[in-house]
Structures are given as C-alpha cells and as structure tokens.
C-alpha cells in the first residue's frame, strides 16, 4: 500500500499505522484513536503496551493562486477535459503511550518513546516514512514531532505508565477524483474575420468591425 491523494485522509491514517506497526514488535499495539473504550472495558492490566495516534486538528488550504487546478486531463480523441484540483493538508496527531507492569512498565514506555523519536523526530526516520508511503503519487511529510511527558496514572485501580503531551504534525497533498463525465475542451478561439484591432497614434487599441 502507499499514500493515495484521492483518498488522502483514509490513506494517511492507514500509512501512519503501517509505518508504526513496522517499527514496533508484537509486545506493542498501535491504535489510531484515543484508547478510552479499550480502557473502559477494563482490559487492565494491559498485556501489550499501547501506542495511540489520534487526529487532534486538520488545517486545509488551497495551493498557490488561481483555481488550484492540478491537471486538465485533456482527451485529444474525445476533445474533452476532466480537471482535478489540489489542496494541502496539515494534520496534527496526538501521540500517547500506555503501559502496565504486565506489558513492561517503565522500560516498555521508555523504549516506545525512543522508538517514536527515531521514527518521526530523526531525519532518517522522516525519510523512511516518506519512502514507505511513496507509491509515486505523493507521500507523507513530517513537519514536526515534539513533546513527550512521563506520568503515572491509575485507571480502574490499575497503575498505568503513560507518555502524554506529544504532537506529530504531518503534511500531505490531495487531489479531487475524476468526474464521471468529462466536459468539452476549448481548443481554439476563432476571431471574427470582419474584426480588426489596430493601435491609434496614442497607443490605444481600437476594434473595428
């Protein structure tokens, strides 16, 4: 799989999870949401240390000036165009770590913090994410990875070793899907043969018809 700019949010989340899964062994569990329901079901103590990524904010914006047209998709046989339009998206993920004594406690949490830093904070990790998500049609770019505060929590009377206040910001570009029906192409503009455009002595344009 790879990043797909036509289903940008779905594929972004899928690729982040796949990248994280590839960097953690089976003593960790990666979830793409805040693990509240899991903890509410009293699945404690945790048998695996949980790494969560939850979308906290999305900033969508147009690209450059004009109509943001990405491609005309001109068909010279049918004489049609089917334009696609582009946008930029900055997505902020809240990242957290949840460990119990059963899943490795403090040591498991420290290993998770270091691995996450290597994955998203280090240049080689950012390049690895780009390569892993790039199928030739766009990729995921890390803008920043910050934070990581350790706390001790108690949930349902069970001690939980957590990492909080961590933010991953990434950027992707999207494009609209092709329309079902293409529109006619404007291929030539023909001037009225009786129309004449001249410059007068003052440099002004005069249209004669």
156: number of CA atoms within 13 Å, CB side?
A: 12
Q: CATH number of the domain that 106 lies in?
A: 3.30.2000.10
Which tokens hold the place of 128? 């690895």
State how far the Cα of 89 lies from the Cα of 59, in Å rounded to an integer: 6
State how far the Cα of 165 lies from the Cα of 92, in Å rounded to an integer: 12
Query: Exposed, middle or buried: residue 196 (CB in 10 Å: 0-12, 13-18, 19+)?
Result: exposed
State how far the Cα of 46 lies from the Cα of 38, in Å rounded to an integer: 10
The candidate with the shortest Cα–Cα distance to 104, out of 22, 28, 53, is 28
- Tallying the residues shown for the chain, one arrives at 209
The beta strands (E) that lie in the chain are given as 28-31, 49-62, 69-71, 80-81, 84-99, 141-155, 158-175, 183-184, 196-199, 205-208
Alpha helix ranges (H) inside the chain: 8-23, 36-40, 105-116, 123-133
Question: Which residue range forms the structural domain that includes residue 146?
Answer: 5-208
Q: What is the pTM of this model?
A: 0.81
pLDDT in single tens digits along all 209 residues of the chain: 899 999 999 999 999 999 999 999 999 999 999 998 877 766 788 999 999 999 999 999 987 666 666 666 555 666 556 666 888 999 999 999 999 999 999 999 999 999 999 999 999 999 999 999 999 989 999 999 999 999 999 988 889 999 999 999 999 999 887 666 655 656 555 556 666 666 666 666 555 55
**Looking at the 3D structure of the chain, how many domains does it have?**
1
Torsions phi, psi for 138 (to 5 deg): 120, 160
């Amino acid at each position: 799989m790879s990043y797909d700019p036509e289903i940008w949010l779905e594929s972004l989340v899928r690729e982040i999870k796949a990248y994280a899964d590839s960097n953690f062994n089976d003593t960790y569990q990666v979830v793409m949401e805040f693990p509240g329901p899991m903890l509410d079901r009293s699945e404690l103590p945790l048998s695996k240390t949980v790494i969560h990524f939850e979308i906290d904010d999305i900033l969508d914006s147009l690209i450059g000036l004009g109509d943001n047209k990405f491609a005309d998709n001109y068909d010279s046989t049918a004489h049609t165009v089917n334009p696609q339009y582009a946008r930029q998206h900055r997505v902020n993920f809240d990242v957290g770590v949840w460990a119990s004594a059963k899943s490795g406690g403090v040591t498991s949490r420290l290993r998770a913090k270091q691995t996450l830093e290597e994955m998203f904070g280090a240049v080689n990790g950012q390049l690895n994410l780009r390569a892993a998500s790039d199928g030739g049609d766009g990729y995921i770019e890390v803008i920043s990875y910050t934070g990581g505060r350790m706390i001790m929590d108690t949930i349902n009377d069970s001690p939980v070793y957590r990492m909080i206040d961590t933010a991953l910001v990434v950027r992707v570009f999207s494009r609209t899907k092709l329309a079902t029906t293409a529109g006619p192409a404007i291929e030539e503009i023909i001037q009225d043969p009786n129309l004449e455009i001249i410059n007068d002595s003052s440099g002004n344009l005069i249209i004669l018809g």
